[in-house]
Each structure stands twice: as structure tokens, then as C-alpha cells.
Structure 1
């Protein structure tokens, strides 16, 4: 009884484990590094273009003038501590700043200067700290000292009793202002550290967002989000396969040859009962490499000593004859319309027991021919004559040919092109096969990157630098 390919499908959650995060980092390391370097560059540029600012500080002590008795000292300490906060706020008022401006001959208003002056005090102390920022270190020190002197005069005038006499409060400078030797801003080290952190954070965010929005099947992790169907093999991408697509064009012990031998072995395990003597090879969309996979799988099976028949059932854009250098005009369609006997149409290829039935003339009604009773009889006849029949079919999504033909075969192998196919398209293909009750033997991941985060998972297949891809002229 045939089983639905979606019967084993498990929609896995979107939660990411440590391996997923590491894969995100490996896939997007260039983006992350570029973002981090950009953050450093922007921070360094900002630091370079920012004019340096110097900060000069001075400190004053607030005291109460009295006889010096213990009681007066206690009362004076409480009084001065309470008054210090008022003096801190007085520092940035015109009463203090205008005399400082006049003494130095500055061409600024008290309001503008107030933005460059900061006064503060520590809790429970009678110390007032005045800090002044300026583009000139000497000017900053001069302003700070002038403001301190002005504050002393202002407090003395404000605290002096109206009835006459001396002020009960005395302010004195305990730390004179001096010209700073290094700028307070920009803080280049801090800016670079912030630029590094922000650039790295943005890079990581962009990497996660990019991965989240990327719906393409890039490796087994994405494949498992759609289906738990057996993974029969993985074939790495190699540009040389465009010119040399056949298994026999690669060295016998090459990773490419080993990957197809592994695919052959896994297919035999998937079909351990032996019921599927005919296997249809298809894909979801054009360009995933189904034709080269079907052709090389047939060659690998023939090299193992089996008698194999390869049928080019892609009656829209046949490619098997081009790969193998065979005559195409007489083939499958010729047999289906009864113009020639099947035995006369089979073409032997290579030194092993591999026979090929090319597509024949392209018909106007491919779906009707592939779903006909004559096609079913043809496959049954070939299953009796050969150990296994491999059928190259059109992609599932553009046309219905493959879904129709899958009802006549023992099993289906779905080729998935890494970085080519979207997960939604894979779901549609599996649904199309389930709709006609096809038996999905397994999936072949094609065009896997030879290096990088999506290649290491398939090293057990033996391939490192080869592939099975269709030429540009193919689907």
C-alpha cells in the first residue's frame, strides 16, 4: 500500500538551538564582520571630526564663621550643609556668571556660559565642585577660577545681614583650577568600544532577521522543518559539473562518484522490499538538477551490475539524450503512439547493462500521454525486463506530468536544489505527490555548498567539491 509523503511530515517549531545559532553565524559572518567594522569606522570618524573639549575643575569649602564653641560648630555644620545645595544652584545664575564674564572679557551671555558650567556637591558634605568645559584648556581653567571667585563674592553679599555686619558664611577655594593636559571629549576609546558593540549588535540582528526572512532550503535543517522523509544523499555544488555532468566523467574514487554510489546504496535500503522496480526522479521547480541526478543514478546502478533502463519522460524539455549523446527523435513518444516496437527504441549506453529510452518527438499533449494506459503498460513491460527502471520526469509545480506519471511507478525520488527551492514550494510538491497517493522513497539534496555551514552535515556522503547540476540550457 502506498504511503503519503506527508504522512511523516512534522512541522517543527521555530525555536532555535545552539547549532542553529552557530549556523546563522557561519552563514552571515561576512555581514556581521562588515557591520562591526562599519561601527568602528563611524565611531573613529566621529571621534576624529569632533573638536576636543577640555574640562577644568575647582573646589570650594563652605564654613560658618563663629567663636568656635562646640555648640556653634554643631549648629554651623547643620546650617552650612543645608545651604550648600542653594550655593550649587546659584553657580549658574547671572549673579555669579556675569561678574566672571566681565572679569575675563568674554563675549558670551550668562545663559550661554551656564551651559558650559556644572556645579555639584557630595551628600552630607560642605564642598562645592565647579567644572567648566571649553575648547581651550587654559580658558577652561580661567573661567572655572573666575566663577569660583564670583561665587565667593556673591554668597558673601547674599548672606550678609541687612542690619550690617559680616556674612556668617565663608567660602574658600581649596582646589584651585588648573589647565587640563588631556581633553575630556571626545573619549576615543569609549567611542570605539561603543561603535564596536553597536556594530556587532546590529550585525547579529541583521543576521537573525535575514535568516528568519530567508525561506529557501539551504540544508538539512530547513528540510526538516518541512518533512521527515528519508534523506537519500547529498551532492555538493561544483561549477565544473556544468561542462562534465556525467558520473563517468569524474575519477572513479572522486567525491562526486562516491556521492552517487552512496545515493544508490541508500535507495536500495529505502526500497528494501524490492516492490519499487520503477523509480521516478523529479523536482519541484526547474533548475534543481533532477535530470543529471536521474542519469547518474542510472549509471551508478548499472555499474553495480544491475540491468537498468533510463527513460526520459520529460516530454517538454528533454535533456537525457543531450547528456548521453543519443538519438532523441525516436523514443518514448514513438512507442506510446505505436509507431515502433519498444525493443527497437532502446539504446544501449556504456559498457554496463544500461539502456536508454529517449523522449522521442515532443508531443502537444504530454500529460495525457504520460497518464495513459499505454504508458502504464510500457512501464510494466520494462519492469519485467530490467532490474530497475529510472524515469526522469518534469518538475512538479509548473506542470502536472510528474504527478500523473507517479501513479504508474513504484516510488518517487524528489531532488531538492539547495539555495534554489523555497520551503513553501517544497511543501506544495509534497502535497501534490500526496494528492495522487504517490510513494516517496526519499529526497536528494543537490547543489549543496562544498564549504560552509550547510556542507559539514553531509561529509558522511563523501563529497567535498563535486556536484550534479543541470547546464544553463536545462530547466
Structure 2
């Protein structure tokens, strides 16, 4: 499966979005075939064994009828009444498989004898596994006791252990199937048809009996509770009645007229309040008239006369006012004809004075009348106010007595009603608890089955095979998804953005020393090195590269073997090649060619020896070697780009290509220090040893060190399980279909 630009596995869908890359799927299945085959090889024989040793099973079915209500014998509501909701029926279905009910069934079938395993209990593999689990638990308990474990260990009676096993087996063999809401099919599966029939009929009968027992038990418990509550309420009622009688005697009340007494007092209080309000209003009105009259008397007589006439409403004052008006008119006429001191004018003024004095006298009498009336009304207001206060105290005292009396009376009435209701319910319960009515009944007993249940062995085996196969395939694809290694060649170039130079197949010939290009020059592995040589040769020619670094991200990826075989391949081409072991920490190149490592590159870089004197022959024509020499204490200080550049310039006059076998990149800085001084770099990667994340990190580190990365090659690739191309080789014949793009 290819990877996208971010390094995540690509979908098996092609770019068109309409077809599936079946080949990619098949390659994944081929690569992970053991994850599929091992579960199949383990599970399928076990499934076949289990299916073959199974005995025929028989089903016995009894039918139960669950009514929504008990049969109505009397018109009295019973204590235990069924529910009409779906939850009620669901709970009944669950009760049919409950351990309590099944325990009673097991006890009934054993008839009080010691519970022992039935002969058929050992016929089922599931029961055998359960028995083994029980034995294992017992062994663990005994071991804990032997080791002195302080934690408490529950010791079970062997008879109880067997009983629980039978309950568990019976529970697994039950199937409850509702038909509508009321009918329930109860089925038990057992290898013995008669035993299955006995078990299911016993289960149905026990369930019906248990439901009736629950109803009778509820009625009995309710009757006992009601009897206790009736006695308790009778005692409380007697105490309350005695308290009421004591209250009446203490306050000298007459219960017959006690309720009317507050009503009469309230009515009298209302009348007194109304009279008081009337007199109070009259008093306020008189006081207002007196204030108004006092203000009017301060005004001139003409204005006083005009205002007081309407207020007094007196015929005499009205007549005097009219007479005074006539005299005023006559006085005016005389003034027009006579002088003010004329006798006629004076006579009219005398008569006007007399009328004015009479009017003033009437006003004084009216003021005295108002004063007398105000005093009388004030006396009545005070009188009614006192009577109201007295009546209010009388009402308050009466209300307190009435409230206390009413409270005691209400308490007695409430207890009497509750007492009567409980007494009636107790009598009804006494009647109904003896009625053995039941809303559940055995509608149809189970008959002994004649034909066994179809085993469907082949179907079960195929289903188990499909499940195991699906599990294996799922695990294979899951492993492929989480596998962070390179999947194919496109994945390499998309992820790293560098050319793919080639791959070297794995080979396991123990007699080979590693130089396969010398020992088996006609093998497919040697040809793979030659293909790698060809690609590097084209790049070296195009970019004028005379020195080449070989490195890897982590150890064990085969960089030294690649350096040696690549040097041999270039030498076989006629190039003069020098291989330099630049791994000054773990040198190994000298072992490939069986040469000494007493002096080498470390001596040259430390200026202790001349390089021309340290170059050794390898036994291969045109191929020479400069070993690493003694391991220095400071390799990072010796290996720097400037020194290596000078060394390469000196050696290029003698050799066509200089190959440096360098240290690994991720954990050692040596390669990064010398990277910019070498013409080109080739990364070696073993897909089984490193992940692509490590390769990408090494590539970025080398790029930051200004290395000229030519590309990457894969080493020790297992072609039979890989997805890197189609390699088929026999002796020296092979095909490399994935190299078409590289060679082009």
C-alpha cells in the first residue's frame, strides 16, 4: 500500500476513485499470510472437534399464559395486582431465567437427595470447561491457604458447587420467547429428551407456584401490617378524644353552641364598627363646617351673607337675606336722589343695620348649634370605640378557644377516618388472602420431543471459519496500517523526495563471506549490485563526482557490505577504486577483504603517516583499500570536511572513484562532519531493521550538513514477502520490472 506526501498510508483506491487496487490488497495478504493462517490452523481444528463431539440436542417447549389481572372472584381490590406495562412483562421474562427460580427447579428435580452431576453433564464441552474453571478456582484457594494469604477465602460446600453448576447449565439451556404480550414459550435444550421435558415442565410449574406464593405472601404481610396499624391508630384515637374532653372541661365550653358563639360576636363587632364609622364621619363633617364657618365670619358681611346662606339652609336667614337685599336696592336708589345724610337715607341704613344684626345673631345661634352637635357626636364616638375594643378582645379569646377546639376535633376526625379505612382494608385483606387466584398459569405442558434439533454442523463450521478468516485478515491489514516501514518504491520517493537507486535481495548462504560479487558473480544478488553500480555511475558521470559516501540511519543495515560489493563492481568495470573505512568507531571493512588494520585513516588524519604508504591491496584487480587504523579517542575532531576534501584531491590523481564506508547518521556526528567534503552520498536502508521515520530524520540531518544525497538503496530485501517489485530468479536469470523508471 502506497504512502501519501505526509508519509501516511494511502488508500487502496486508485486516482480515478472508481476501482480498487486488488493487487495491493493481495500483496498485503501474501506478506502477512501467517497472521491469517495461524488463527485458521489453531481455531478451525478446535471448532471441528467441538462440533464433532457434540451430541444431538432435544428441545422441549412449555407455554405460559400471563394475564394482565388476577381472576375477579369478589369485588375487592387485592393487595398483589399485576402491572399492565411492558416493563412488567419484561421482568417476568427475566424471572424465568433467574438463579432463584432455577435453584428451586434444581432442588425440586433432586427431590431432596444430594445434588450430583447428571450423566449428561459431561457430554458438553462448555460444561467441561466450566467444571475445569471451578476446579481451578478451588486449586487457587487451596494454594492461597497454603501460602498463608491473610485475605479471607470463601470456602464452598462441594454440594453447593455442584448445585451452582447445574443452575448455570440450566440457565444456559433456557430460551424464553414471548408470543404477543400474554403467551410465553419456554424452551429447554438437553441431550436427553425426557429430561428436557421434565425440566421445562418443572420450571413452568415452579414459576406459576412462585407467582402465587408472591401474591399470598404480599397479602399476608399486608394483613399483618394493617392489623398493627389499626391497633396503633385505635390507641392514638382514644388519646386524642381524651385530650379534647379535658380541653372542654378546662375552658368550660359548651360544644353544642361553640361554633355559633364566634359568629354572633363577629356580627355584633360588625354593627359596632358600622355605627362607629357613621358617627366618626358625622364628627369629621361637623368639624369641617365649624372651621369653614369660622373662616367665613372673618370676611366682610356681604361675602359672609352669600356663603353662609347656602350652608345654614334656614328659612329665616333666607328671608332676612332677601330683606337685606331689598334695603340695599332702596338705599342705592335714595343715594341717587339724596345726599348720604338725608333722613330717608339714614332711615334705610338704620333698617339695614337691624336686619344685619338679626342675621348675625342667627349665625351665632347656628355656630352654637354646631358646637353642641359636635360634642354629642364626640361622646358617641368615644363610647362606640370603647365597645369595639371590648368586643375585639372577646372575639380574640373566643377564636383562640375555637381554634384549639377545631384543631383537636380535626385531628380526631382525621384519625377516625384513617382508622375506619384501615379497618375496612384489613377486613378485605383477610377475605382476599385466602383466595388462591393467579394471573399466571401453565397453558400447555411440554411433550417429549421425538426429533433432535438440527445441528447444522457444516454451517457452524463455515461461520467459525469466516469469523476466524475475517479476524486474521483484519489483523493483517491492521498490522500493515501500523507498520511504519516503506511498503513499495513509490512510497520511498513520495516520502523522502530522493531517487531510489536499487535494492539488494537477501541471501542466506552461510559459506559466503559477504563479497557476493566475487564469490557468486552470476547470482541475482551480484546483478543487483551491478544495477546499483550502473545508476551511481550515471549520476557520477553527470555530476562529475569522484568520491562517494555510503552510510545508513541505524546500525545493522548493511552499509559496509554494500560498500565492499559496490567497490568490487566498479573495479570489475575497469575503474580504479579506493575503498576507505571512515567508520572510526566500529570499523569492519578490513574483515571483508582479510587485511590488517594496524594503520589507516586515523593515522593519516592525525598526520602520523603518509596515505600512499597505508593503502593496501584487496586481491581484486583495480580495487585497493585504506582501513580505518587504530580507533582514536576523538573521531569527531579528526573527521572534518576540509581534511577529507584535501585527502580526496590528493587521491583523485590515482583513482577514478573513492568510496567512504562511513558511520551511521542518527546517533553519531562523524558522518555529518565529513558530509560536505565528499562528492556524493548514498543512503543504505534495510526495511526489516529501520523505519521510514528514522530514514527521513537522517536525510534531513544530512541535508542540513550540505551533503549531496544521490539517493537511497534497499539492502537485504526479502523478495518473497516484499512489495517492492517482481523478482523471479533461477541461477542467473531474473526480471526487475520496478527498475524501468530508474533506468529511464
Is the CA contact 1:250–1:256 (under 8 Å) kept in the aligned structure 2? no
Is the CA contact 2:641–2:678 (under 8 Å) kept in the aligned structure 1? no
Secondary structure of residue in 2 paired with 1:270:
helix
Is the CA contact 1:36–1:198 (under 8 Å) kept in the aligned structure 2? no
Is the CA contact 1:53–1:136 (under 8 Å) kept in the aligned structure 2? yes
Query: Any residues of structure 2 matched to 1:151-190 within 5 Å, and which?
Result: 179-184=449-454, 187-190=456-459
Kindly tell me: are residues 292 and 134 of structure 1, through their superposed partners in 2, closer, same or farther at Cα, counting changes over 3 Å? closer
What is the rounded CA distance, in whole Å, between the counterparts of 2:460 and 2:470 in structure 1? 15
The equivalent position to 2:10 in structure 1, one of 11, 15, 21, is 15
In structure 1, the partner of 2:698 is 429
Deviation at 1:182, TM superposition (A): 3.0
What is the rounded CA distance, in whole Å, between the counterparts of 2:678 and 2:510 in structure 1? 29
Query: Any residues of structure 2 matched to 1:305-316 within 5 Å, and which?
Result: 305-316=574-585
Question: What's the CA shift string for 1:49-82, capped at 9, x where partnerless?
Answer: 66642136799xxxxxxxxxxxxxxxxxxxxxxx
The equivalent position to 1:285 in structure 2, one of 554, 570, 593, is 554
In structure 2, the partner of 1:77 is none
Deviation at 1:267, TM superposition (A): 0.9
What is the rounded CA distance, in whole Å, between the counterparts of 1:222 and 1:438 in structure 2? 23
In structure 2, the partner of 1:227 is 496
Mean alpha-carbon deviation: is it higher for 43-52 or for 271-280?
A: 43-52
What is the rounded CA distance, in whole Å, between the counterparts of 1:436 and 1:406 in structure 2? 6
In structure 2, the partner of 1:208 is 477
In structure 1, the partner of 2:525 is 256
What is the rounded CA distance, in whole Å, between the counterparts of 1:450 and 1:438 in structure 2? 31
The equivalent position to 1:336 in structure 2, one of 593, 605, 617, is 605
1:40 aligns with 2:96: no
What is the rounded CA distance, in whole Å, between the counterparts of 1:26 and 1:335 in structure 2? 52
What is the rounded CA distance, in whole Å, between the counterparts of 1:179 and 1:441 in structure 2? 81
In structure 2, the partner of 1:136 is 192
Moved over 6 A (4+): 105-108, 117-122, 127-132, 141-147, 460-464
In structure 1, the partner of 2:672 is 403
Deviation at 1:402, TM superposition (A): 0.9
In structure 2, the partner of 1:100 is none
In structure 1, the partner of 2:681 is 412
What is the rounded CA distance, in whole Å, between the counterparts of 1:119 and 1:229 in structure 2? 67
In structure 1, the partner of 2:466 is 197
In structure 2, the partner of 1:28 is 32
**Structure showing greater Rg:** 2
Question: What's the CA shift string for 1:230-249, capped at 9, x where partnerless?
Answer: 22121112222674211354
Deviation at 1:142, TM superposition (A): 8.8
Is the CA contact 2:493–2:500 (under 8 Å) kept in the aligned structure 1? no
Secondary structure of residue in 2 paired with 1:444:
strand
Question: What's the CA shift string for 1:371-395, capped at 9, x where partnerless?
Answer: 0533220012222332111111111
What is the rounded CA distance, in whole Å, between the counterparts of 2:61 and 2:498 in structure 1? 74
Structure with higher helix content: 2
Kindly tell me: are residues 117 and 319 of structure 1, through their superposed partners in 2, closer, same or farther at Cα, counting changes over 3 Å? closer
Is the CA contact 2:517–2:529 (under 8 Å) kept in the aligned structure 1? no
Higher relative contact order (CA 8 A, sep 6+): 1
Deviation at 1:192, TM superposition (A): 1.6
Kindly tell me: are residues 32 and 380 of structure 1, through their superposed partners in 2, closer, same or farther at Cα, counting changes over 3 Å? same
Mean alpha-carbon deviation: is it higher for 248-257 or for 291-300?
A: 248-257
Question: What's the CA shift string for 1:345-403, capped at 9, x where partnerless?
Answer: 22233352222212122211212211053322001222233211111111111211111
1:449 aligns with 2:723: no
Kindly tell me: are residues 379 and 130 of structure 1, through their superposed partners in 2, closer, same or farther at Cα, counting changes over 3 Å? closer
The equivalent position to 1:270 in structure 2, one of 525, 539, 557, is 539
What is the rounded CA distance, in whole Å, between the counterparts of 1:367 and 1:242 in structure 2? 36
TM-score when normalising by structure 1: 0.69
Aligned residues: CA RMSD: 4.3
Structure with higher strand content: 1
Secondary structure of residue in 1 paired with 2:591:
helix
Deviation at 1:197, TM superposition (A): 1.9
In structure 1, the partner of 2:59 is 55
Deviation at 1:131, TM superposition (A): 6.6
In structure 1, the partner of 2:385 is none
Kindly tell me: are residues 244 and 218 of structure 1, through their superposed partners in 2, closer, same or farther at Cα, counting changes over 3 Å? farther
Alignment: residue pair count = 394
Secondary structure of residue in 1 paired with 2:652:
helix
Secondary structure of residue in 1 paired with 2:496:
coil
Deviation at 1:416, TM superposition (A): 0.3
In structure 1, the partner of 2:624 is 355
What is the rounded CA distance, in whole Å, between the counterparts of 1:204 and 1:293 in structure 2? 36
